Chain A
């Protein structure tokens, strides 16, 4: 080996060693499921679209590294003090430079590097974390490809008409559904699939943009003065219209039919990619229509009965709901006064059965009171905000308000800058006539956004408890905007903040992923030809349900000269380092743990990596001279008989050659 090659090898080994000493000791990865299967999947096919689905984890090799300002980096750095060092020099100066190559610069301080070999997302995350620990690095992150969001072919969907679903970058008040839909759970897009949301309202209409997502509901309106052609409770939850033309009825305004239940259902779960109308926030969820409001409202007793029934609890005189038990109950309704005993009992019962109750706070413009049942203990009380995230004057806030969701503002002659909620409706002013779409505003339209996101969370983690779900919704809420016109800025009576679907799901998915650690029993560099023990530790995520277990663990070699792993499906595995010279001296092992929920089919995985660097290969010393024959023992020593046989064989060959006058090699 030339002197130059030797020096290069030593330098490389030193670099690799410095990486692996850190890496093997403490690298713990973020849950891969969160990043891969369960997180955004750029390019993922939307149901009905033709984009190919991402089936296997892609490997990547681009990193963005932003260095701190050199002056701020302080002494001790190896960066030249004469102006900005080149990106190439700065990357070369990093401890992990052996794994990186400079690609290009983005700005004076920000550069793009390539890894020497493509890495999985988990490995890239690990690398970025290592880099971030370097005092000279401000941050490091993957240079990911951006893809256009899945193409939604619902013709009335656009960012202006449905600002309520957009990311906060587009509309400060957007509920960030468009990003949430890019996530997956167990390989299935997050859409509310598998979850039933009960909409307790005026009933449903067989709107073309909704029918696919309705499941059979029930009519609980017991008021005989209702417009229902068959008064009383029955299995027909359709909306006959709630118009009122009689000005003499107390507490009942003269009005056209509102199709309120159909509007709320559309916000929750209008069909997606059906070339029709709009898209619901939980477009994959099913809606259980429970008719509890008729003309002039509905009685608390009927609403409470509908809640019990929707949650699968028994109500005398009504067939039990066993086919479509709801996990989320939306109540875009309210009455004045403190929480009634009837409401509270119902809320307590259904929450105990594992369902969450979401209710609107009311439209009275109160700053200190919310209506019932929003003011009942255990209800997720939802106030409203506009597209800019501020609280509109009509929206009630007060103690008990959990958070805010898009509710828009009132308009007189049409939508103001799209600042109302666009939803499914009907053209009929009394009885239903034809499908339509309409703008509206109110806390009634804010609550279903939260109900829809609750469904998304139930899909992400089917065993999530109502308490946990509410906590995740509020913990992930964005702060109210500050400013002169933002009443809710800093006011706890407005709740935790603005609904953020994507952040809420991220929180739930991070919670449920297992926690892993992995290490090797030998410090780097490891000698060649020796056994190395790999030890992994896996525990269920902190937010996992009771009974969640680690269902499997697996060690996989993901880089370096191939070795045989023994005990690859146990927490303690081993392998023997190569005894010979190898093209690469770095071995990387992945310890992956998978947790399984005892009830759901959702599994989450998490990875940790172990880096093992090999000691430099050195040429074996010359063989020692063979020991003198000892006459016994010692493998490899010829016996007398064997020696005599060999001599006889050689003699025979010599005699044969003499006789034929040729050698074997000369024969043709």
Chain B
């Protein structure tokens, strides 16, 4: 019974998400790697901080790794319908964040 309801709910959500997704709007399929530079070193992998980050960005946030003392990289799964641009703007609006950018890939040359 529960399984059936869940499947229906997921299906409805999926349909809704697809219908709402223009190119810039993220889908549930691909979380984004985002690099955040903070104004000071700190415990930016703490659960409490991640919750706050999640609240501010309206996205699922998972800590990946440190880049340096003040720079860290996160996996960010935007809420359905939220564009990448809006997501980055929301993260960048946080007072402790001094820079935000998408974590690009480099290749051997």
Contacts and interface: CB of A to CB of B under 8 A. Distances in A.
Contacts of A299: 33, 73, 103-106
A233 B65 contact: yes
A296 B108 CA distance: 9
Contacts of A304: 67-68, 71
Nearest to B66: A316
A315 B66 contact: yes
Contact of A444 (B67, B69, B99, B108): B108
Give the interface SS of chain B, mostly helix, strand, loop or mixed.
strand
Interface string B89-109: 000000000010101111111
B42 to A, nearest CB: 10
B83 to A, nearest CB: 19
B37 interface: yes
A314 B105 contact: no
A163 interface: no
B109 A363 contact: yes
A253 B4 CA distance: 40
A314 B41 CA distance: 11
A443 B107 CA distance: 12
Contact of A308 (B45, B67, B99): B67
Interface size class of B (residues with CB under 8 A): 20 to 34
A317 interface: yes
A333 B109 contact: yes
Contacts of B108: 201-202, 258, 260, 293, 297, 332-333, 444
Contact of A341 (B66, B99, B107): B99
Contacts of A314: 68-69
Given A222-B73, A316-B45, A341-B99, A301 B105 contact: no
Given A341-B99, A345-B37, A332 B109 contact: yes
A298 interface: yes
A302 B107 contact: no
B71 A293 contact: no
Given A297-B108, A362-B109, A342 B35 contact: yes
A340 interface: yes
Interface string A608-633: 00000000000000000000000000
A300 interface: yes
A345 B64 CA distance: 19
A369 to B, nearest CB: 13
Contacts of A336: 104
Contacts of B101: 340-342
B107 A334 contact: yes
A335 B107 contact: yes
B89 to A, nearest CB: 16
Interface string A339-376: 01110011001000000000010110000000110000
24 contacts: A220-B65, A233-B65, A296-B105, A296-B107, A299-B33, A299-B104, A300-B35, A301-B64, A304-B67, A304-B68, A305-B66, A308-B68, A313-B68, A317-B65, A318-B66, A332-B108, A336-B104, A337-B104, A341-B35, A341-B99, A346-B67, A346-B68, A360-B109, A372-B106
Interface of B: 33, 35, 37, 45, 64-69, 71-73, 99, 101, 103-109
Given A293-B106, A372-B106, 6 more contacts: A301-B67, A315-B67, A316-B45, A336-B104, A346-B68, A371-B106
